[in-house]
Structure 1
Amino acid sequence: MSLNTIVLFTIGLNAYALLLIYLRSWLYRVPVYRPMVKNFALSVLPLALFLALAIVLVLTVGFVSRALGIVVGAAGFAVWLLSLPNSGYLITELNQNHRREDEDVPLWYDIIAVLTFAMSGVVNTVLGVLAVQLTFALIVFGDSNSALRAAPVRAMPIVIILLVSIGIYLGRYLRLNSWDVRSPRRMWNKLREHFDSRRSVGNFLLFCATHTVFLLLIYGLIAGPLLEAVATTPDLVTDG
C-alpha cells in the first residue's frame, strides 16, 4: 500500500463518516447531533495543522534560515501534538450517548455510523503519526531510506500514541481540551481532584494501556507495510 493510497482512503473514510452524521438527520427526521460534528472537525484539525506546518517550514528554511525553521518546527510540533488526541478521541463516541429514547433511528444505523466515525478518528491519528515519523526521519537522518530503521524513528510512534491515549482519557473523563494548557493551575486542580484514589489511578493506567496497544496495532497494520517497504528499498542515490 502506497502513501497516496492511504491518504485517499483516509479522505474517503472521513467523508463517509460525515455523510452518515447528516444522512441520519435527513433519513429519520431528527436533529443533527452537533457535538459529533464538532468532534469531527477537531479530528481532522491535526492533519490540517501538519499540512500548514509543512508549508511554513519549507518557506522558512528555504527563504529565511534553517535555525528559524527549527524553532518554528518545534513550536508547530508542540501545537500539533496537543491537538492530536482530538482524533483518537472519536473512539469514545462508541458509547452511543447521542441516542435518544424518543427517536426512531434503528440501532443498526447508529452502530455503523458511529463505528465509521470512530475509525475515521483512529485512521486520522495513524496518518498524522506516520506523517510526523517520516518527516522526523527526513529532517534528522537525511534522505537515506535506512533512516526509518533508526531507533529514535521506530520509537516515535510508541511515544506519541501513548501520549495520545493519555490525552483521550483527560478529554473524556476530566473534560480537558487542548487549549486548557493555557490554564495550568486549573488543569492541576482537576488532575489532583480526579486522581484522589488508587481506583482512579488504576482505571487511568488500564485505559491508557488498552488504548495504546489498540492504536499501535492499527498503526502497524496500516503504516507497517509501507514503512518496511521504504526502509528495505535501496537508496536512490548511493556513493560512487
Structure 2
Amino acid sequence: MLDSLIVGVLGMDVFAVVLVVARSVAFRTRLYRPMLLNVALCAAPLLVLLVGWGAALVVRVAGAPAWAMWAVAGVTMLVWVLLLPNAGYLVTELNLSHRREGDGVPMWFDVALVISLAMAGVLTTVINVFTLHAGYAILRHGDHAVGLQTADGRVLVAVLLLLVSLGMYLGRYLRLNSWDVTHPGALLRKLHAHVVTERHAGALVGFCLTHTVFLALMYVVVVGPVISGLVALER
C-alpha cells in the first residue's frame, strides 16, 4: 500500500511536468516556467524532511550528544513547515491564469494540465503530512500502527493542514514566499494591511477553512486505507 502511494504521488508529479513541457512543444507556445518552479518547490518539503531526518540519525549514530540530534531535527522541522505550503499551492493553478488570448492551446488540454498540477500538490501535501504523522506516532506511541489512529495524531494532522492552507493563501493573495519569514516586520505589515486595512479577514478565514476541510478529506481518502491496512496487518 505504501509503495503504491509513493509511486502514485511521484507519477502524478512527473505527469504534471510532462504536460507543462508538452504544452509548449505541441502547441508552439511559450514554456510556462513558473509551473515548473512550483512543481520543484512542491517536492522540496519531503526532500528536506528525509534528508534532515537522515542527518539527525547520522549525528546520533556517530555518538554526538542527544541535543545535537534534536537540534538537527528541530531545524529540519522548521524548514519543512515553512516549505510545506508550496506543495498545496499547486491547487491554486486551477484559476487558469496562465492562458493567453490566441495561444492556440485547447481548453481540454489546459484543464487536464491544471487538474494534474492540483492533484500533484494535494497528493504531495498528503504524503508529507503522513510522513510526519507516522514519525510522531512512533515517537509518541511506539512502533505500533494503532498509534496512527490516536486523537493527538489527528489534531497534529489538522493543525498542519490548516497551516498549509494559510500558507497557500499568503502565497496566492499576498504574493509571499517561504523565505519572507526572514523579514518578519515586512511580513506582518503586509498581513496587517491585507486583513485590517483592506478588510480581507473574511476571505482569509473562508479560504483557510475551505481548503483545510478539502485537504483533510483527501487525507482521509488517501491515507485512511493505508492506516487501516497497517493496523489490520499488525493484528
Shorter-normalised TM range: over 0.9
Is the aligned partner of 1:18 residue 2:55?
no
Cα distance in structure 1, aligned partners of 2:136 and 2:186: 33
Aligned position for 1:50:
49
Cα distance in structure 1, aligned partners of 2:182 and 2:198: 28
Aligned position for 1:92:
92
Cα distance in structure 2, aligned partners of 1:177 and 1:6: 28
Moved more, 34-43 or 136-145: 136-145
> Could you tell me whether the CA contact under 8 Å between 1:171 and 1:177 is conserved in 2?
yes
Is the aligned partner of 1:109 residue 2:98?
no
With over 3 angstroms needed to count, the CA separation of the structure-2 counterparts of 1:28 and 1:198, relative to structure 1, is closer
Q: Give the counterpart letter for 1:85 in structure 2.
A: P
Cα distance in structure 1, aligned partners of 2:179 and 2:51: 19
Q: Per the alignment, in what secondary structure is the counterpart of residue 229 of structure 1?
A: helix
> Could you tell me whether the CA contact under 8 Å between 1:149 and 1:231 is conserved in 2?
no
Aligned position for 1:135:
135
Taking the TM superposition and a 5 Å limit, the aligned residue runs for 1:153-192 are 153-192=153-192
Q: Per the alignment, in what secondary structure is the counterpart of residue 176 of structure 2?
A: coil
CA RMSD, Structure 1 to Structure 2 (Å): 1.4
Taking the TM superposition and a 5 Å limit, the aligned residue runs for 1:31-46 are 31-46=30-45
Moved more, 197-206 or 124-133: 197-206
Cα distance in structure 2, aligned partners of 1:231 and 1:170: 37
Summarize deviations over 1:122-150 as a string: whole Å, max 9, x none: 10000000011101111232213332233
Q: Per the alignment, in what secondary structure is the counterpart of residue 30 of structure 2?
A: coil
Moved more, 186-195 or 56-65: 56-65
User: Please, what TM-score do these two structures have when normalized by structure 2?
Assistant: 0.95
Aligned residues: 234
What is the deviation of 1:153?
1.5
Summarize deviations over 1:209-237 as a string: whole Å, max 9, x none: 100000000010000111122234437xx
> Could you tell me whether the CA contact under 8 Å between 2:53 and 2:76 is conserved in 1?
no
Structure 1 portions without partners, runs of 5+: 236-240
Cα distance in structure 2, aligned partners of 1:231 and 1:59: 30
Aligned position for 1:6:
5
What is the deviation of 1:69?
1.5
> Could you tell me whether the CA contact under 8 Å between 2:85 and 2:164 is conserved in 1?
yes
Q: Per the alignment, in what secondary structure is the counterpart of residue 98 of structure 2?
A: coil
